Protein backbone atom coordinates (compact mmCIF):
# COMPACT_ATOMS: atom_id res chain seq x y z
CA UNK A 1 0.00 0.00 0.00
CA UNK A 2 1.33 3.43 -0.94
CA UNK A 3 1.32 6.13 1.72
CA UNK A 4 0.74 9.21 -0.43
CA UNK A 5 0.73 11.51 2.62
CA UNK A 6 4.47 11.11 3.14
CA UNK A 7 5.25 12.84 -0.18
CA UNK A 8 4.61 16.36 1.07
CA UNK A 9 7.45 18.51 -0.33
CA UNK A 10 7.63 19.89 -3.88
CA UNK A 11 10.93 19.21 -5.69
CA UNK A 12 12.10 19.71 -9.27
CA UNK A 13 14.72 17.77 -11.20
CA UNK A 14 16.73 20.26 -13.25
CA UNK A 15 19.24 19.98 -16.09
CA UNK A 16 21.40 22.86 -17.27
CA UNK A 17 21.94 23.36 -20.98
CA UNK A 18 23.36 26.10 -23.19
CA UNK A 19 20.82 28.42 -24.85
CA UNK A 20 21.63 31.10 -27.43
CA UNK A 21 21.45 34.61 -26.05
CA UNK A 22 20.57 36.32 -29.35
CA UNK A 23 23.94 38.05 -29.64
CA UNK A 24 25.88 35.10 -31.00
CA UNK A 25 26.80 33.64 -27.60
CA UNK A 26 25.26 31.17 -25.22
CA UNK A 27 24.14 31.21 -21.61
CA UNK A 28 23.55 28.25 -19.32
CA UNK A 29 19.85 27.93 -18.56
CA UNK A 30 18.00 25.55 -16.20
CA UNK A 31 15.30 23.29 -17.63
CA UNK A 32 12.87 21.34 -15.46
CA UNK A 33 12.74 17.64 -16.36
CA UNK A 34 10.30 16.64 -13.63
CA UNK A 35 8.32 18.47 -10.97
CA UNK A 36 6.96 16.14 -8.29
CA UNK A 37 6.27 15.65 -4.61
CA UNK A 38 8.81 13.93 -2.39
CA UNK A 39 9.52 12.92 1.17
CA UNK A 40 12.50 15.03 2.29
CA UNK A 41 14.63 14.32 5.38
CA UNK A 42 17.78 16.09 6.48
CA UNK A 43 20.63 13.61 6.84
CA UNK A 44 21.98 13.20 10.35
CA UNK A 45 25.75 13.32 10.82
CA UNK A 46 25.71 10.66 13.56
CA UNK A 47 28.74 8.37 13.49
CA UNK A 48 30.35 10.32 10.65
CA UNK A 49 30.89 13.27 12.99
CA UNK A 50 32.50 11.01 15.57
CA UNK A 51 34.81 9.59 12.91
CA UNK A 52 35.94 13.13 12.04
CA UNK A 53 34.32 13.24 8.63
CA UNK A 54 32.92 16.50 7.34
CA UNK A 55 29.11 16.29 7.05
CA UNK A 56 27.40 19.31 5.58
CA UNK A 57 24.22 20.56 7.26
CA UNK A 58 22.49 20.87 3.88
CA UNK A 59 22.64 17.17 3.06
CA UNK A 60 19.26 15.54 2.45
CA UNK A 61 17.75 12.20 1.58
CA UNK A 62 14.61 12.34 -0.52
CA UNK A 63 12.20 9.66 -1.68
CA UNK A 64 10.05 9.89 -4.80
CA UNK A 65 7.67 7.41 -6.34
CA UNK A 66 9.01 5.20 -9.12
CA UNK A 67 8.08 6.26 -12.65
CA UNK A 68 8.71 4.38 -15.85
CA UNK A 69 9.18 7.66 -17.75
CA UNK A 70 11.83 9.16 -15.40
CA UNK A 71 14.98 7.72 -13.86
CA UNK A 72 16.89 10.10 -11.56
CA UNK A 73 20.68 10.18 -11.88
CA UNK A 74 23.71 12.29 -10.98
CA UNK A 75 23.16 14.23 -14.23
CA UNK A 76 20.28 16.11 -12.60
CA UNK A 77 20.20 18.70 -9.86
CA UNK A 78 17.30 18.99 -7.44
CA UNK A 79 15.65 22.36 -6.86
CA UNK A 80 14.15 22.42 -3.36
CA UNK A 81 13.17 25.44 -1.27
CA UNK A 82 14.84 27.96 -3.61
CA UNK A 83 18.20 26.12 -3.61
CA UNK A 84 19.96 23.73 -5.95
CA UNK A 85 21.25 20.38 -4.70
CA UNK A 86 23.64 17.98 -6.40
CA UNK A 87 22.60 14.33 -6.46
CA UNK A 88 25.33 12.14 -4.97
CA UNK A 89 23.52 8.79 -4.98
CA UNK A 90 20.37 7.09 -6.27
CA UNK A 91 18.94 3.78 -5.09
CA UNK A 92 15.75 2.00 -6.17
CA UNK A 93 13.95 0.66 -3.10
CA UNK A 94 11.64 -2.15 -4.12
CA UNK A 95 9.08 -3.41 -1.67
CA UNK A 96 6.31 -5.88 -2.30
CA UNK A 97 3.96 -3.76 -4.42
CA UNK A 98 5.65 -0.40 -4.21
CA UNK A 99 8.82 1.05 -5.68
CA UNK A 100 10.47 4.35 -4.84
CA UNK A 101 13.77 6.06 -5.52
CA UNK A 102 15.90 7.01 -2.52
CA UNK A 103 18.11 9.95 -3.51
CA UNK A 104 20.94 11.52 -1.51
CA UNK A 105 21.72 15.13 -2.32
CA UNK A 106 24.00 17.88 -1.07
CA UNK A 107 23.74 21.66 -1.49
CA UNK A 108 25.79 23.43 -4.14
Domain boundaries, the chain: 4-107
pLDDT reported for residue 39? 94
Higher pLDDT, 45 or 92: 92
Residue predicted with more confidence, 78 or 3: 78
pTM: 0.79
Of 79, 76, 70, residue with least CA distance to 89: 76
| Angle at 22 (CA atoms; ends 19, 28), nearest 5 degrees | 25
Q: What is the largest CA-CA distance in the chain?
A: 55
Between 2.40.50.140, 2.40.10.270, 2.60.40.730, 3.90.1300.10, what CATH number should domain 4-107 receive? 2.40.10.270
Burial of 30 (0-12, 13-18, 19+ CB in 10 A): middle
Amino acid sequence: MINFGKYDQKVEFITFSPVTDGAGGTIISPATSLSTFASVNQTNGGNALEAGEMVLPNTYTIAIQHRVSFVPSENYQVYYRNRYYKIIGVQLDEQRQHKEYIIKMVGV
